[in-house]
Structure 1
């Protein structure tokens, strides 16, 4: 076997750290995984514990009983620790961005991996991973806090990035721009005046501040009011499965990637 492509990352993980992303994956991609004949899902860079891969497998099997999940890690010691937890439909393998699997995956989840690479490498590995997907496959790449209460991720297809999702517990931030520290590597250094992502977070903070009176009914009602207000000036996804009341009430907001793509010029 050739040497895995990539570098060993810190590997920090924990129970339910990726629950928010898993919930979104089930809502957005569950139907496609359920109707596929033998869908393969890859959890790339699962870290020092098998926990989040096992949780992903359990959640996906509830909606797609035929799904196969493969956890891939570049550190042989981590793979060895995970092997005893294998079962039918769940396995762990040594590897990296080359994805040592037997068929193109329907979905790849790569969380808290690319954040530890230079920005240019993050863009490049997006292309590498998207090129390995099944024709209608998806890559979900993002970052979350240690306890999983703040998270931001990008939804990609073989054509490239398509969406950006913010997700947080209502007691995990004071204002929406606090989630900026979870931005993916392709955006985190772009959160400066003149960039689209900075303009979006500025406007989200403004909508949050204006919606403060709704806080009397709880943070969820304030979030819902802020998102509705923000949707008047930004193309917030407002219909299922990516948007609408059912997603927003969970502390989620999804935008088309094009709205904040740093490659398309400065903020309007």
Structure 2
């Protein structure tokens, strides 16, 4: 887990007495609460490990993608929430610094469920530009224009991903965005979904091309909504398979470096009819973004 994971104590199991005469009991584990009032922080316990610059690829995309950056630039209240920053506030501090290129008055609020982690982060605060508080999926009652939530849903069952999305989306400011995904421990392989109040809009993969053998190496970092769908018959499986084919065809570009080979791979993918949304400048950074419809699960997730 990462600095972007929610942390909380597991709820105590409820005990239901089934036979008082013989003293037998059965234990039923509560499901995590993904919606509630403002009084209680919502989330599950995670390790909360993090590293400096772990989320640099996501932050670079946020700042460099016009339709995302414009949401922050045009916000009446430029509040951004970094949800589940983990045992160290370093990635939240970095986010606040990077967003200042969009507007000087942007405010970043790092939220964690564990009070000890909140207390440990507060020396890094610089109010009002950067603050830390206790909160989970309920966003501490705030209405941010942007939420970054990384490695938060990784330990949840697949069927709880969509309800978690909805809980977060319902708490955004009008026109706000949620960026939710997963990355490896040092931020070299990342995948994320960007959503607005209407649901998922785009899917992005980002990597350091020199660290992969094939693009499908990123499969292990698919977000919770997709990681169980990397099987034949699913769109994300077809995407990764096609990327691997294009990567092989782009081998003549290898002498020009891994980034050039990745860029050619994405160009070939677009030539095959995949609806790639970004352009060569982003491809050279090891990125590719497609509409959510290009990877959306072919069948609904199981019911919670």
- Shared fold per TM-score greater than 0.5: yes
Residue pairs, 1:1-268, within 5 angstroms: 2-28=39-65, 29-88=68-127, 89-102=129-142, 104-238=143-277, 243-263=278-298
C-alpha RMSD over aligned residues:
1.4
Contact 1:162–1:257 (8 Å) recurs in 2: yes
SS across alignment from 2:212: coil
Runs of 4+ in 1 over 6 A off after TM superposition: none
Contact 1:43–1:72 (8 Å) recurs in 2: yes
In structure 1, how many angstroms separate the alpha carbons of the residues matched to 2:72 and 2:219?
A: 31
- Higher Rg: 2
* Aligned-residue offset at 1:171: 1.5
SS across alignment from 2:192: strand
More helix by share: 1
In structure 2, how many angstroms separate the alpha carbons of the residues matched to 1:71 and 1:101?
A: 13
Q: Which residue of 1 aligns with 2:35?
A: none
Contact 1:115–1:122 (8 Å) recurs in 2: no
In structure 1, how many angstroms separate the alpha carbons of the residues matched to 2:175 and 2:226?
A: 25
TM-score normalised per structure 2: 0.82
- Structure 1 gaps of 5+ residues are none
SS across alignment from 1:139: strand
Contact 2:81–2:111 (8 Å) recurs in 1: yes
TM-score normalised per structure 1: 0.93
Contact 2:81–2:147 (8 Å) recurs in 1: yes
* Aligned-residue offset at 1:35: 2.9
In structure 1, how many angstroms separate the alpha carbons of the residues matched to 2:93 and 2:229?
A: 34
In structure 2, how many angstroms separate the alpha carbons of the residues matched to 1:246 and 1:181?
A: 25
In structure 2, how many angstroms separate the alpha carbons of the residues matched to 1:31 and 1:198?
A: 32
* Aligned-residue offset at 1:170: 1.4
